[in-house]
Structure formats: C-alpha cells, structure tokens
Amino acid sequence: MITTVTLNVAVDKLYLVEQFETGEVTRVKECNATAGGKGLNVSRVASILGEKVLATGFVGGHSGEYVEEMLKRDGISNDFIHVDGESRTCINIIDQNGKSTELLEPGVTVSEKEKKEFKEKFEQIISGSNVVVLSGSVPLGCGPEFYPELIQLAKGAGKQVILDTSGQNLMQGIKACPTMIKPNKDEIKALLGVDVDSKEDVIAAAKTLHDGGIPYVVVSMGKHGAIVVCDEGIFEGNPPDVKVVNTVGCGDSMVAAFAVSFARGYSMDDALQFALAVSSANAMCKQTGFLYPADLQKIMSDGKVTKLA
C-alpha cells in the first residue's frame, strides 16, 4: 500500500475561460473541482494506476468535508486529522491559449495538540504501507522541522519515503535523507547555491545530493524530461510528445508513478519510462492529477530513457 501525506489539503478548482485579465470581469466557461493538495493528486493517480492508497493529513471545516466526499467518490481511502478552521481553496485559471494562472490560499493553522495527534496516527497508518509520500506545503503551525520528523518515523518503520516539497521544507527535509526527492532546477539552485544551466550542471548537483545520503535524486525538467542519479547509475529520460492541455499536476503524477514503481520493485530505467508516460498522460487531461489509462497505454513506449553512466 502507498500512504500519501497532504498536510495542506485544498479544494482545487479549475476555471476554463476565453481570456483572463486582471481588473476585468471574466466569464467562466467550465469549472471542475477536485480533492487537491499535491499529495491528493498523487493519491488519485496512484489509485488510477491500480495501487491501494491511503490518504492522510489535516482537513478543516466544510471544505475539508468536501475533500473527503470527493475522495470517497474516487474510491480513495482516507484517514485525516480534523482541525479548526477551513481547508483552503486553490484556483487554476486556464485561458484559450493554454496560459495558466494559479491562486493558492495559505490554508488552516494547526495546533501543537493536533500535530501530536497526527504523528500518532501516522505511525499507525504507515505500518501497513510499503511507500510513504510526503508532498506539498505545510500549514501554519507546522514548521519546516515537521517533515524531517515524519521522514524519521517512516524510515524507522522500514518504509521507503518520497519527499516532494520546496523551500525550507525541502531544505530541512533532505537532512533526514528520504529515499527520493524530486526537485526542479530552480529548487536545486536554492538548495545548493549553484547554477544548473546545462545537463552536466544538473547531473553534478544531483550527484552532490545523492552523495549526501539520498538514494534517488530525480531532477524534473518539465517538457525536457528528467535526470535521475541513484546507485543503479545516471539516467536521462525524454518524455513522449503529446498535446498538452493542463500541466498542473504533472509533477505529482510523476511522483505517483515513482511511488507505484517502488511498490512494484521496478528497475530505475523502467520506473523512469513509466513516470514520464504517466506525467505526460496527465498533461493530456483538463483535470488536475488525473489520467486516462487508454492515453497512458498509447504513449507508454514513446518516451526514451538512456543510461548515461
């Protein structure tokens, strides 16, 4: 089983519009709501891929109840800590040219008591999991030290841990040496203070993080694919060429594919091929953190993975 942790749950709303300009009235052509926060995107994709998933984190108020209802509708098991306040709503506005504008609310505030309650629940939940995925931002009240605490608990229980976050949460999280991280080039620059303009720069930076104790360092590069540095070697993956509809959730879909690959024991070249195809299939859909299995099947072999060393 895969456990996903979404500390800053959201109701994700996708608005499709003709055009979007600040200061103007905008008519929405189509609106779609999903259970959001990066970890819940991972949950949905991993579930579509056929893995058993349990989602956890913090939820609050009517929005939190709505998130739980949507997860139930999608057939995803969940076990959240209920907190005071209202879970956030995040809006993604996409115009007819495919340009995306995101509005992200900060979320609820979590108390020390609620944090303690979550850690106790977390230890119980992960006992039945193979892979634990920690994704996204943290709510107010959970500082950047919270992820390292969860990583240590999961590693102490013998679980593989994927961390997908940014800023201080990533900076502090890598000190606990999760099994895998998935920074982009900007996040690597912030982590190490080095420029990563070329492929060689990316590989060197990823090797530095790998040598620091992180078994799998995956550097995502959007339409240019990904670089992976691990004990099996250095791998470069180029994604399939697809018609892009919505890129929001592609990174989460890639994380979901790696989580599934870990659960199934895939080799890294197979895992990277799978992750690139899953991420690309997500980009073909309007809905965030979603894919159609038929699309995935069509493009599964279209990407290219090369072992560089």
**pTM of model > 0.85:** yes
Structure tokens at 181: 């991280």
Measured from the Cβ of residue 197, the count of other Cβ atoms closer than 10 Å reads 10
The pLDDT value recorded for residue 98 is 84
We report the CATH number of the domain holding residue 234 as 3.40.1190.20
3-state secondary structure string, 223-238? Answer: HHCEEEEECCEEEEEE
Q: Which domain holds residue 210?
A: 2-307
- 199-211 and 185-192 helices, crossing angle to 10°: 50
User: Which residue type occupies 90?
Assistant: C
Question: Which residues in 103-141 are b (16+ Cβ under 10 Å) and which e?
Answer: eeeebbebeeebbebbeeebeebbeebbbbbbbbbbbeb
Total number of domains constituting the chain: 1
pLDDT digits over 189-216, tens only?
999 999 898 999 999 999 999 999 999 9
pLDDT digits over 245-279, tens only?
888 889 999 999 999 999 999 999 999 999 999 99
The pLDDT value recorded for residue 248 is 85
CA gap 264, 280 in Å, rounded: 21
Please measure the distance between the N-terminal and C-terminal CA atoms of the chain and give it in whole angstroms.
32
Q: What share of the chain is helix, strand, coil (3-state, %, to 5)?
A: 40, 25, 35
Measured from the Cβ of residue 211, the count of other Cβ atoms closer than 10 Å reads 10
